Amino acid sequence: MRDFIAHPEHGIVWISGASSGIGRALALKLAGEGYKVAVTARSHEKLVELQAEANGLSGSIIVLDGDVTDAEDMEHVMASIEYEHGTLAMAILNAGVYLPVYAEDLNRTDFEKSFAVNLSGVVNCLLPAIRHMKAKGQGQIAIVSSVTGYGGLPTGAAYGATKAALINMAESLKFDLDKMGIRIQLVCPGFVDTPATRKNAFPMPALISVEEAAREIAAGLKSQAFEITFPKRFTTILKLARLLPYGAYFTLVNRVTGWRERPSLAGHHPVTPHAAE
């Protein structure tokens, strides 16, 4: 039996973190394929600009403002979709923030904000989405993680921890969601040219545009794959690297990033493949 794949006739696609980066590009991509896409972020102005850009496409974009860290906000967004716009067929939980962490200057705020947006923010969307889909007997959910969740990287103690948690969350939920007719997928991008990665002052292997990332995700959503990861020439190497003994893994990461040679707290340059605002 094949898993459910949401098509435009099945209902609404909901994308969180759609004001910039991958979320924005994916909203336009899916609207161009005929989907009605509900977009959520804190920036109303950016969402309205996105909506205007979609004029003339075969699908459309619905602006539903909200802060993913506010559970009540996400309940209101879900209620608006259900009672004003139609059935939720697919939820793409993409909102995220990247805050670099340096052991020499640890602070609680970076961890708390990262966990609130990247982890609790996904849960705040996930709960009402699953409740709605359970009542309908079908649905599709994509959780946007990152290859930083595969293993620890410099400055990624907060961001990477949340992305690793999302990987485990998606894997764990799949067992029960399969029985409910709800399909869950995991999205793990490599380096994507977003506002976050533009801060990186080092070569980013296999860097791709947000438009290419959106094409990869859109294609993956129509496949039977559980994990959507790209570009595979890069992400496969990271997966294999994580199989190395710890000594070899740490040596490899230090060599590739040049981190051991970097002065402590000098030239703070984030090392992260993906962040969605």
Dist. CA 270–CA 277, nearest whole Å: 15
Three-state SS at 203? coil
Dist. CA 262–CA 254, nearest whole Å: 10
Residue 220 reports pLDDT greater than 60 = yes
pLDDT of amino acid 277: 45
Alpha-carbon distance values, 55 to 34, 59, 236 (Å): 12, 9, 38
pLDDT of amino acid 176: 97
pLDDT of amino acid 261: 81
Output the average pLDDT for the chain: 91
Residue 233 reports pLDDT greater than 70 = yes
In total, the chain counts a number of residues equal to: 277
* pLDDT: which is higher, 203 or 255: 255
pLDDT of amino acid 227: 98
pLDDT band with cut points at 50, 70 and 90 for residue 204? low
pLDDT of amino acid 260: 83
pLDDT band with cut points at 50, 70 and 90 for residue 193? confident
Summarize the confidence of residues 217-231 as an average pLDDT: 97
What proportion of the chain, given as a percentage, has pLDDT over 70?
A: 91
pLDDT of amino acid 263: 76
Look at strands 182-189 and 139-144 and give their pairing.
parallel
Alpha-carbon distance values, 197 to 17, 89, 121, 207, 237 (Å): 16, 31, 21, 10, 20
Within its chain, how far is the Cα of 115 from the centroid?
14
Full-prediction pTM beyond 0.85?
Answer: yes
pLDDT of amino acid 93: 98
Dist. CA 226–CA 152, nearest whole Å: 23
Asked whether the bond before 245 is cis by omega within 30 degrees of 0, the reply is no
- Largest distance between two CA atoms of the chain: 57
pLDDT of amino acid 192: 83
pLDDT of amino acid 201: 43
Q: What are the residues whose beta carbons fall under 8 Å from the beta carbon of 172, sequence distance 6 or more?
A: none
